Amino acid sequence: MHCNQHTLSGECIFEGKGLHTGKISKMTVKPAPADSGIRFHRTDLGPDAIVEALAGNVSSTARSTTISSGEASVATVEHILSALTGMGIDNAFIEIDNVEVPILDGSARYYVEAFGKKGTVDQGVPRRWINIPEAVEISDEKTGSFVRIEPALSPSVSVSVDFNSRVLGVQQASWDLSTDYAREIGPCRTFVFFHELEFLFRNNLIKGGDVDNAIVIVEHPVSAEQLASLSALFGKPSLEITGEGYLNNLELHFPNECGRHKLLDLLGDLRLTGGFLNARITAFKPGHTINTAAAKAIRALLNIKQ
Q: What share of the chain is helix, strand, coil (3-state, %, to 5)?
A: 25, 30, 40
Q: Is the pLDDT of residue 305 over 60?
A: no
Q: Domain extents for the chain?
A: 4-127
Closest CA to 295 of 280, 278, 274: 274
Residues facing 75 on adjacent strands: 100
Coil, helix or strand at residue 126: strand
Residues facing 30 on adjacent strands: 93
CA distance 306 to 48: 18
* 111-146: pLDDT as tens digits: 999 999 999 999 999 999 999 999 999 999 999 999
CA distance 5 to 275: 10
Coil, helix or strand at residue 144: coil
Mean pLDDT of the chain: 92
Minimum mean pLDDT among 79-83, 145-149, 211-215, 276-280: which range? 211-215
Supply the pLDDT for residue 188: 97
Residues facing 26 on adjacent strands: 15
Supply the pLDDT for residue 245: 86
φ/ψ of 200, rounded to 5, equals -65, -45
Supply the pLDDT for residue 231: 76
DSSP class per residue in 53-77: --GGGEEE-SSS-EEEETTEEEB--
* 288-302: pLDDT as tens digits: 999 999 999 999 999
Note the pTM of the prediction, 2 decimals: 0.93
Q: Which residues of 11-35 are buried (b: 16+ CB within 10 A; e: fewer)?
A: ebebebbbbbbeeebebbbbbbebe
CA distance 64 to 288: 6
Helical pair 257-270 and 78-86, crossing angle rounded to 10 deg:
90
CATH class assigned to 4-127: alpha beta
Residue 2 annotated to the active site = no
CA distance 178 to 184: 11
* 79-123: pLDDT as tens digits: 999 999 999 999 999 999 999 999 999 999 999 999 999 999 999
Supply the pLDDT for residue 207: 58
Which amino acid is present at 69? S
Supply the pLDDT for residue 154: 96
